[in-house]
Amino acid sequence: MARTVTFKGNAVELAGNELKAGDTAPAYTGLQGLSAVSLADTPAKARLFSVVPSLDTGVCSMQTKKFDEGIKALGDAVACYTVSLDLPFAQNRFCTSEGIATMKTVSDVHDHSFGKNWGVLIEKGLPLKLLTRAVFVVDGAGKVTYAEYVPEVTNHPNYDAALAALKAAAK
């Protein structure tokens, strides 16, 4: 059965399986600049993956800024990433212009492996592929401890719940 969320009220289909707390975080290959990065390249500590359709939209911009601000108090105990299909150049421009200092970006534009493996790639229902809005927390052992797929792509995630899950995973 197809998994769906809505985008401006219209159902869109997601590729891949839904992740749940307790699942092993899936592998992926993304880009940071022109360098390939993978889950194995992230540090073995609590990690937050904030997934957005495009940093060039209001809700995605705000989501990245809220998490960037929310994680500052946790310092080096965590690693946090914004994942989108934006080109790495656009991600870097956004972070520079918006003063995003703590969140790192991962572009899934190369092969959509993050989107497919984490169940966030909008595969059908839009004229282009995008990632749906979602937030994941992964502990130091590589287990998902928190997963939120936002039912309506244009809505905000539950920032407080995600940050609480990240703090718990960092202990």
CA distance 12 to 80: 27
What is the 8-class DSSP label of residue 85? S
Q: Which of 127, 125, 80 is nearest to 101 (CA)?
A: 80
Active-site residues, by number, are: 60
Q: Answer for the pair 64, 70: CB distance below 8 angstroms, yes or no.
A: no
Query: Regarding beta strands 10-14 and 104-107, do their DSSP bridges make them parallel or antiparallel, or are they unpaired?
Result: unpaired
| Exposure letters 42-53 (e unless 16+ CB within 10 A, then b) | beeebbbbbbbb
Torsion 150-151-156-160 (CA) sign: negative
Q: Which of 136, 156, 28 is nearest to 82 (CA)?
A: 136
For residue 69, give the H/E element and its range: helix 58-71
